[in-house]
Structure 1
Amino acid sequence: MTTFALRPRETTTAAAAAGRRRRSFRDGLEGWGFITPALVIVLGLTVFPGVWALVLSFQKWDGFSAAVSVGAQNYQALLSDGELHAAVLHTLLYTVLFVPASVLLGLFLAVALNRRIRFIGLYRTAIFVPFVASAAATGILTTYLFSPQFGLVNNVLRVVHLPQQGWLEDRHEAMIVVTIMSLWGQAAFTTVIYLAALQDVPGDVIEAARIDGANSWQVFWRVVWPSLAPVTVFVGIYQALEALQLFDLVYATTRGGPLDATETIVSYLWKVSFQGLQFGYGSAIAYAMFFVTLILTVSVTVYTRTSGRRSR
């Protein structure tokens, strides 16, 4: 019988490989040990409620009695719900007002802050402070500024002898006030994103354009703006999704009033679910909104990428 003996070098190599595998396995276990608690919490707060809401959307349940399966009746009811249709129109109006204004204001502030001036760090920090303020604080500030009786804005109008406005109590002006206060908080996000993108624009390209005789306006539109196109798409989609989910500021200020003029999809969903105890119907509204926003987001992303490839 012929026997083969491993050489000492081969034995050492095999032992080293086995040791590396054991260390890799041990490191993997340690990593999973660190992330598992957070992963369980995240999945418990996202996947489980999402699946449960999907099941509830096909049921009728008031939170107390036994759930009753109703098939697609909740989704069919969406087509004939006049209050929901009004909330959709209010949300679309807010989106049309908010998204372009937030993008343009963020771009303007980013360009203004993309300079080497004294105390620039302080200015950038001050711009970002409203973004981290809570919705409750923003709501209190909104009430203080735009209250028809004792608001600061009407007091200024009174001093300069201009007609005072109803603001939050006027159904034609309330959504404009909500949009203004949303811009006060959300424009900081677009400013930070655009500021980071502006600092990534190659300086030598800008310098070459200036040497060729381009003025500041031409440099911006011919050199800087094209490089910001992907960022603009991202900001636009993100802000549109934020606009479609507007709830906290409305809840903290108008509660959907006056006369439901600021009732948005999410605030109507909250009213149906937690005031009317129609959790099945509320889940159907949530999932209908989810699928519509998903389709719109995918469509815009695909169209933007296709247009970008064609332009090359």
Structure 2
Amino acid sequence: MSASSTVRAPHVEVDRRRSRRRRSLRLTLEGWGFVAPATLIVLGLSIFPAVWSFFLSLERWDGFSDPQPVGLGNYAYAVGDADLAAAVAHTFLYTLLFVPASIVLGLLLAVALNRRIRFIGLYRTAIFVPFVASAAATGILTTYLFSPQFGLLNNVLRRLGLPQQGWLEDPRQAMVVIAIMSLWGSAAFTTVIFLAALQDVPAELVEAATIDGATRWQAFRHVTVPQLAPVTLFATVWQVIQALQLFDLVYTTTRGGPLNATQTVVYYLWNAAFRRTQFGYGSAVAWTLFAVTLVVTLAIVLYARRARIEAF
């Protein structure tokens, strides 16, 4: 090797590093160029309103007159608000009804669809259709099925000679009906999640358990279900968040009735902010709901880490 080539080698390496850095910088700028418009829209429609609503929660404002600073007065009023407490109880009841049922139903449907049968692709597509249906369509379907006067279910009960039910007009049954109709759409999401997870479970584990004498139920309970623990935890967190934010189905069916039996926290804060024009108080309720949701999510995540469930 000549002395000149030995001298040029470090310069060649430096030029290559500079070229890689320039190429990396160009690719980074191109990537940000593509995502920057969407990022600005997301920030403008989420971050800015959230920050503004926090400062608004420290004021009393009806949207027309000048805002009046009240500090934590809105939050203090929310603590003693009996109507808000009732809305919290309704939301808690809905969460208890909806979340476990959506997880169990999604798992059962996923197991049923995790088979090699004819037209399985059609069945899997059909089970996901309710998830993309609009809240308005779900509300119309709910009214058609559960209307006490002309609903399909009461017509069936009438034909069978059984007592008819009040359904959406009965304060004791309305929230149960809302939970059932929520399952119609949301269970499709958990079904898809569990179906993807079932296809990743090693078949060798199930076969080994079967060879050892385990029945299909024992293999499913002791082999398959533990493998699904991370997915189950993720689906539970997601469904809890969705349950705490229930609004659209209530708005399109009962409007919080009858006798405020289906008034959830989100519907209550919407009513306070946009009907009674108490924007400061509505913002305080929204931030309180955000804090509760964050605490519940963190508690579930900490439990997962202590139980060594790698879901997040």
* Shorter-normalised TM range: over 0.9
- Report what 1:114 is aligned to: 114
- Matched to 2:104, the amino acid is L
Q: Could you list the per-position Cα deviations for residues 9-46 of structure 1 after superposition, in whole angstroms to 9, with x for gaps in the alignment?
A: 43333333323322222222211111110110011111
Q: Could you list the per-position Cα deviations for residues 185-221 of structure 1 after superposition, in whole angstroms to 9, with x for gaps in the alignment?
A: 1000111111111111100111111111111011011
- Report what 2:25 is aligned to: 25
- Matched to 1:245, the amino acid is Q
- For the residues of structure 2 that align with 1:128 and 1:213, how far apart are their CA atoms? 36
- Report what 1:165 is aligned to: 165
- Matched to 1:95, the amino acid is T
In structure 2, stretches of 5+ residues that fail to align are: none
Pairwise CA distance, 1:228: 1.1
2:297 counterpart of 1:292: no
- For the residues of structure 1 that align with 2:9 and 2:104, how far apart are their CA atoms? 68
- Report what 1:63 is aligned to: 63
- Report what 1:94 is aligned to: 94
2:146 counterpart of 1:146: yes
- Report what 2:272 is aligned to: 272
Pairwise CA distance, 1:273: 0.3
Q: Could you list the per-position Cα deviations for residues 232-262 of structure 1 after superposition, in whole angstroms to 9, with x for gaps in the alignment?
A: 1111111111111000000000000011010
Q: Could you list the per-position Cα deviations for residues 162-206 of structure 1 after superposition, in whole angstroms to 9, with x for gaps in the alignment?
A: 111111111111111101100001000111111111111100111
Distance 1:56 1:124, change over 3 A: same
Pairwise CA distance, 1:58: 0.5
Pairwise CA distance, 1:308: 3.0
- For the residues of structure 2 that align with 1:127 and 1:271, how far apart are their CA atoms? 34
TM-score normalised by length of structure 1:
0.95
| Secondary structure, counterpart of 1:7 in structure 2 | helix
- Report what 2:75 is aligned to: 75
TM-score normalised by length of structure 2:
0.95
- For the residues of structure 1 that align with 2:268 and 2:169, how far apart are their CA atoms? 19
| Secondary structure, counterpart of 1:308 in structure 2 | coil
- How many residues are aligned here? 306
- Report what 2:130 is aligned to: 130
Q: Could you list the per-position Cα deviations for residues 103-152 of structure 1 after superposition, in whole angstroms to 9, with x for gaps in the alignment?
A: 11111111111111111111111111000000000000001111111111
- For the residues of structure 2 that align with 1:171 and 1:7, how far apart are their CA atoms? 88
- For the residues of structure 2 that align with 1:144 and 1:278, how far apart are their CA atoms? 34
- Matched to 2:254, the amino acid is T
- Report what 1:181 is aligned to: 181
- For the residues of structure 1 that align with 2:18 and 2:235, how far apart are their CA atoms? 49
- For the residues of structure 2 that align with 1:289 and 1:86, how far apart are their CA atoms? 14
Pairwise CA distance, 1:5: 11
| Secondary structure, counterpart of 1:256 in structure 2 | coil
- For the residues of structure 2 that align with 1:261 and 1:133, how far apart are their CA atoms? 25
- For the residues of structure 1 that align with 2:111 and 2:17, how far apart are their CA atoms? 55
Of residues 191-200 and 15-24 in structure 1, the stretch that sits farther from structure 2 once superposed is 15-24
| Secondary structure, counterpart of 1:51 in structure 2 | helix
2:296 counterpart of 1:282: no
- Report what 1:103 is aligned to: 103
Pairwise CA distance, 1:7: 3.2
- For the residues of structure 2 that align with 1:30 and 1:304, how far apart are their CA atoms? 38
| Secondary structure, counterpart of 2:255 in structure 1 | coil
- Matched to 1:138, the amino acid is T
- Matched to 1:72, the amino acid is L
- For the residues of structure 2 that align with 1:259 and 1:271, how far apart are their CA atoms? 15
* Identity rate, percent: 63
Pairwise CA distance, 1:222: 1.0
- Report what 2:39 is aligned to: 39
In structure 1, stretches of 5+ residues that fail to align are: none
